Amino acid sequence: MNLLKRGPSTRLVNLRNFPFFSAISYFVLFVLYAPLALVVFYSFNENRTAQIWTHFSTRWYTDVFTNTNVVRALKNSLIVASAATVLSTALAIAAALGLLRMGRRGSTFAMGLLGAPLIIPEIVSAVGTLGFFLFVGIPLGHVGLIVAHTAFCVPFAMLPIRARLVSLDRSSFEAAADLGANEWKIFTWVTLPLLAPGIMAGALLAFAISLDDFITSFFIAGPGSTTLPVYIFGMIRSNVTPAINALSTLLLLVSGLTLILSYTLSREKNQR
């Protein structure tokens, strides 16, 4: 990482030359990823006690896939995440197009409102969402989860879509208009194909965020709509076994692959 140093002769300052920079960097990386490595490691522990290693075994992964409660929670997570992804991506496309036509002040204010879920503490948002649903009569469970997840996934989906939209060459739209295409045809035949990489990246990011969400799901989930993160939390409260590590490893794998794919699509669209 380089920073510009202001002075009579501006030059690049290499932070790697600062004392203990490498040691601090490695320590931060260790604190971030060592717990994840332990989760994966102990998921292959044969012992029923999660933190006491005995022998290598994959029995807990078998137990996970044959556990009806886990399968039910996984289905609930996939249903909610899929529905929230579709809805939030559609709203993100509309928001990105709307922001493009707004004035500078209006777009800045609207962007602040749309991006609020990124900075508001999720526990505050979850409590407020629960109170709002009870006030207006939105049923808890799958419907409430889909609505709540859609709301906080919109800014995540909009970020890559807006970045792609801003980078597009306006000449393509002008050429389509000159050839007699109306706004709907320009949107379906020009805008959407050009936005496709950003839309896919935003949809994958929204899916990963929704699939991993715990706090909002914990407050909004009703009977029969427990999601996988909420179910894992319930398992931890009752008894910590390597099955929890196996479940967490699978969830980590799916989320990681989804985010890598989203990053790859975002990188490809920026290189075009």
Residue 255's domain is classified under what CATH number?
Answer: 1.10.3720.10
pLDDT digits (tens, 9 = 90+) for 138-152: 888 899 999 999 999
pLDDT digits (tens, 9 = 90+) for 62-112: 888 888 888 899 899 999 999 999 999 999 999 888 887 776 667 777 777
Does residue 55 lie in a domain region? Answer: no
Does residue 39 lie in a domain region? Answer: no
Residue of 45, 72, 70 lying closest to 59 (CA atoms): 45
What pLDDT, on a 0 to 100 scale, did the predictor assign at position 162? Answer: 87
Does residue 45 lie in a domain region? Answer: no
Query: For residue 259, is pLDDT > 70?
Result: yes
Does residue 2 lie in a domain region? Answer: no
Does residue 16 lie in a domain region? Answer: no
Residue 103: domain span: 66-271
Does residue 32 lie in a domain region? Answer: no
Does residue 28 lie in a domain region? Answer: no
Alpha carbon distance 59, 46 (integer Å):
7
What pLDDT, on a 0 to 100 scale, did the predictor assign at position 187? Answer: 76
Domain count, the chain: 1
What pLDDT, on a 0 to 100 scale, did the predictor assign at position 220? Answer: 92
Does residue 149 lie in a domain region? Answer: yes
Please report which residue ranges of the chain form alpha helices under DSSP H: 21-42, 59-66, 68-101, 104-114, 122-136, 142-167, 171-178, 183-186, 192-212, 215-220, 228-238, 242-271
